[in-house]
Chains A and B, each alone.
Chain A
C-alpha cells in the first residue's frame, strides 16, 4: 500500500532501469577508482553533472507546487555567473563576497518574478518569460558579450574542488535540497504551499498569506539557480553568458515531473525531484557513453515528457478504467462527460 502510494517509485524505477541497462551493456560503468584521494567513474560524473539540475529542480518543485512555473532559471544562472566573473576581474573582493553578492542580486530578480505573479496575478509562465528573454541579454551585457575567463582559487572551490573524495558541488546541491525539504516539511510552510497549489483562492480565505508564500517560492528558486550558476561558472573558470543554463528550465521541469510532482500544483516531492534529476543526467551520460549522437537525448526527453504526462493525466486513467470496466462505459460518452464537467464548472458546483 505504501509503495503503491509513493510517487517517487516511478523515478526510482526509471533510474534502476537505466542503471540496469548500463550494468549489462556498458563495460566499467560501475567501476569507481580512487586517484589522488578522489573518486573517479561514470557514477561520480553523473552526480557531479546533475548537481546544477538538482539545485534548480528543487527550487522549481516549490514553484510548481504553488501552481506556478519558473522559466527564468537558466537566465538567472547566467546572470549570477556573470556577476561573479565581473567581480573577480574588476577588483579584489573577499571570496565570501563573490558568493554572497551574486546570490543576493539574483534573489532580487526572484522577488521581481514573485511580485509579478503573486501580487499582480500575471500567469507565471508569461511573467517569468520576461526574465528568460531579457535575463540572458543582461548577462551578456555584464560580460560584454564575451566569455569572461578568470582564475580565482577561492571561488573555484565550489565548482572544481573535492571534499572527502566527492565533488563539493554535489554535497552543496544535496545539502541545499535537504535543507529546503526539512524546512518546508518540519514547518507548516510545506502544507501552505500544497494548499495554495490546490486552490489559491480557498487558501487565502482560510488565512494563508498566499502572495508572500508565492514570492518566497520564486526567491528560493532564484537562490538555487544562482548557486547552480556559480557552480557551473567555477567549474569552467569562465562566465559563458550565452550558454550557461541554456535549456536548464526544461531539465528542471522534467525532473520535477519525473519525480512525481503534478505539474498543475499541489502535492510535491523533493526526494522524487532529486531522483528525477539523476534520471535525466544518467540518461544523457548513458547515451554519451554508448557513442550515439548526444542529440538523441532530446528525443528521449520528449518521449519521457509524453510518458509522464500520460501517467499523470486524469483523462487517461478514466479512459483506461472505462476500457477495463465496461459497465462504466455505458454511463457517459466523452462528449457527455465534457458537457457534464463544463456544466459543473459554470455552475460552480
Chain B
C-alpha cells in the first residue's frame, strides 16, 4: 500500500499493539470461544460434557480439515473458493469409484487425493504463472467441480464395502461410552501436521513471508512461485480429504454436498484470527474458530426454539466483529 511512513516515537499503545500484533487476533478468538462456551454451559448444564465436546470434533471434522488448508491460503494473502465444490465432487466421485467401478476403497481414496492435489496445483499454476486473481480463478474451479460432480451422477450413490466399514468402525475409546471416531482422528492428525508445517518448516516460513510482503519475499530469494503453487495444492489435498471424510462419514456420495461450505470455512478461518491481508494466522486459531462454529450450531440445537437461519445470522455477525477488529488492529499497527 502506498501509506506514507513517518517516524514516530514508540508510545505505549504502539508498543502494546506491536508486541501483540501477531497473537492478538488469536487470543481474542480463544477468549470469545471461552465466553461462548461458558455461556452455553451455564444455560444448558448438559452442554458441559465430553460427549458434546467430542461431537464438535466429529460433526465439523470435514470442515476443520478444509479450514486447515484454507488457513495457509489466506496467510499467503490468497483465497480458495473451490473447496466446497471439491467436497461435492470428491464425495460423489469416490462413491462412484467404489460402488460403480468396484475399485478398492484404499486406491479410490488415493486417486481422489491425487486428483485434489493436481487440481489445486493447476489453480496455483494459473494464479502464479498468468497472474489470475485467486478469487476469480478459484471461482472458476468452484463452477467446474460442481458441474463435474453433477456429470458423475445427479443421484446420491451409496457406499457399501467391508473395507469402508472397517475404516469407519475404527475408534479410540475415551471413556466407557464415548470414543473418538475415525473422522475426528483424521481431523486431529491433519491439525497436527499443519501445526508442524506452519511452525517448523521452511514451507511454512515461506508462506508467512509471502503473505507479509510478496515483493520483499521475491527480493529475498524465497521461491515464491513454487510456494504459491504448493499452497493451492495443499488446499486441494485438504479439501479432497474433507470430501473423502464426508463420503465415509455419510456412507454415500452426493453431488450437492458442501454447497456454500467455502463461506463457512472462510468464516471459521477469519474468526480463528487469520488476517485476511495475509501474513498473520495460526492453525491453532483456526482450530478454535471451527470449535466456535460448532458451539453456535450445537447451542441452537440445544435451545430448540431457534431456527437454523439464526446460525447464518450469528456467523455473519461474528464475522463482522472479527473483521472490524482486524481492521482496527492493522490500522493501529501501521500508525
Task: Decide whether A and B are members of one complex.
Answer: yes
Given A295-B151, A305-B140, A346-B215, the answer on whether A127 and B315 have CB atoms closer than 8 Å is no
| Bound Cα distance A298, B255 (Å) | 13
Given A134-B316, A145-B308, A302-B141, the answer on whether A126 and B323 have CB atoms closer than 8 Å is yes
| Bound Cα distance A87, B48 (Å) | 43
* A46-90 Cβ-contact flags toward B at 8 Å (1 or 0): 000000000000000000000001000000000000000000000
28 contacts between A and B (CB under 8 A): A123-B276, A126-B323, A132-B263, A133-B319, A134-B312, A134-B313, A137-B309, A137-B310, A138-B313, A293-B150, A293-B154, A295-B151, A295-B154, A297-B147, A298-B150, A299-B148, A301-B140, A301-B143, A302-B140, A302-B147, A303-B140, A305-B139, A306-B137, A309-B132, A313-B132, A314-B131, A342-B218, A346-B219
The answer to whether the Cβ of B26 comes within 8 Å of any Cβ in the partner chain is: no
Given A120-B327, A346-B219, the answer on whether A299 and B143 have CB atoms closer than 8 Å is yes
B310 cross-chain contacts in A, Cβ below 8 A: 137, 141
Given A264-B133, A309-B136, the answer on whether A298 and B147 have CB atoms closer than 8 Å is yes
The answer to whether B130 touches A313 (Cβ under 8 A) is yes
The answer to whether the Cβ of A106 comes within 8 Å of any Cβ in the partner chain is: no
How far apart are A126's CB and chain B's nearest CB, in angstroms?
Answer: 5
The answer to whether B143 touches A298 (Cβ under 8 A) is yes
How far apart are A174's CB and chain B's nearest CB, in angstroms?
Answer: 27
The answer to whether the Cβ of B202 comes within 8 Å of any Cβ in the partner chain is: no
The answer to whether the Cβ of B317 comes within 8 Å of any Cβ in the partner chain is: yes
The answer to whether B316 touches A130 (Cβ under 8 A) is yes
Question: Which among A303, A309, A316, A339 has the greatest number of chain B C-beta atoms within 10 A?
Answer: A309
The answer to whether A126 touches B276 (Cβ under 8 A) is yes
Nearest residue, chain B, Cβ from A316: B130
Question: Which among A121, A129, A140, A297 has the greatest number of chain B C-beta atoms within 10 A?
Answer: A129
The answer to whether B323 touches A127 (Cβ under 8 A) is yes
| Bound Cα distance A127, B79 (Å) | 14
The answer to whether A137 touches B311 (Cβ under 8 A) is yes
The answer to whether the Cβ of B214 comes within 8 Å of any Cβ in the partner chain is: yes
How far apart are B196's CB and chain A's nearest CB, in angstroms?
Answer: 29
Given A134-B315, A137-B311, A306-B126, the answer on whether A263 and B133 have CB atoms closer than 8 Å is yes
B146 cross-chain contacts in A, Cβ below 8 A: 295, 298
Known pairs A134-B316, A338-B218, A341-B215; list 11 more (Cβ under 8 Å): A121-B327, A125-B135, A129-B263, A134-B315, A134-B317, A135-B316, A295-B150, A301-B147, A302-B142, A315-B131, A342-B218
The answer to whether the Cβ of A209 comes within 8 Å of any Cβ in the partner chain is: no
| Bound Cα distance A296, B316 (Å) | 32
The answer to whether the Cβ of B320 comes within 8 Å of any Cβ in the partner chain is: yes
How far apart are B262's CB and chain A's nearest CB, in angstroms?
Answer: 10
The answer to whether the Cβ of B129 comes within 8 Å of any Cβ in the partner chain is: yes
The answer to whether the Cβ of B2 comes within 8 Å of any Cβ in the partner chain is: yes
Listed from nearest, the 8 A-B pairs whose CB atoms lie closest are A134-B316, A137-B312, A295-B150, A298-B147, A299-B147, A302-B144, A302-B143, A342-B215
- Name B's A-contacting residues (CB within 8 A): 2, 79, 126, 129-133, 135-137, 139-144, 146-148, 150-151, 154, 214-216, 218-219, 224-225, 263, 266-267, 270, 276-277, 307-313, 315-317, 319-320, 323-324, 327, 331
A264 cross-chain contacts in B, Cβ below 8 A: 133
Question: Which among A116, A141, A293, A306 has the greatest number of chain B C-beta atoms within 10 A?
Answer: A306
Q: How many residues of A contact B (CB 8 A)?
A: 56
Nearest residue, chain A, Cβ from B218: A342
The answer to whether A348 touches B2 (Cβ under 8 A) is yes
How far apart are A71's CB and chain B's nearest CB, in angstroms?
Answer: 9
How far apart are A115's CB and chain B's nearest CB, in angstroms?
Answer: 11
Given A133-B316, A141-B313, A297-B147, the answer on whether A339 and B218 have CB atoms closer than 8 Å is yes
How far apart are B81's CB and chain A's nearest CB, in angstroms?
Answer: 10
How far apart are B184's CB and chain A's nearest CB, in angstroms?
Answer: 26
The answer to whether the Cβ of A131 comes within 8 Å of any Cβ in the partner chain is: yes
Nearest residue, chain A, Cβ from B150: A295
B263 cross-chain contacts in A, Cβ below 8 A: 129, 132-133
How far apart are A261's CB and chain B's nearest CB, in angstroms?
Answer: 13
Partner of A315, one of B2, B129, B323: B129
| Bound Cα distance A130, B126 (Å) | 28
| Bound Cα distance A79, B317 (Å) | 17
A342 cross-chain contacts in B, Cβ below 8 A: 214-216, 218-219
The answer to whether the Cβ of A267 comes within 8 Å of any Cβ in the partner chain is: no
B324 cross-chain contacts in A, Cβ below 8 A: 120, 122
Given A120-B324, A302-B144, A346-B219, the answer on whether A250 and B139 have CB atoms closer than 8 Å is yes
Nearest residue, chain B, Cβ from A304: B140
Nearest residue, chain B, Cβ from A69: B135
The answer to whether B319 touches A129 (Cβ under 8 A) is yes
Given A145-B309, A263-B133, A338-B224, the answer on whether A133 and B267 have CB atoms closer than 8 Å is yes
| Bound Cα distance A295, B317 (Å) | 33
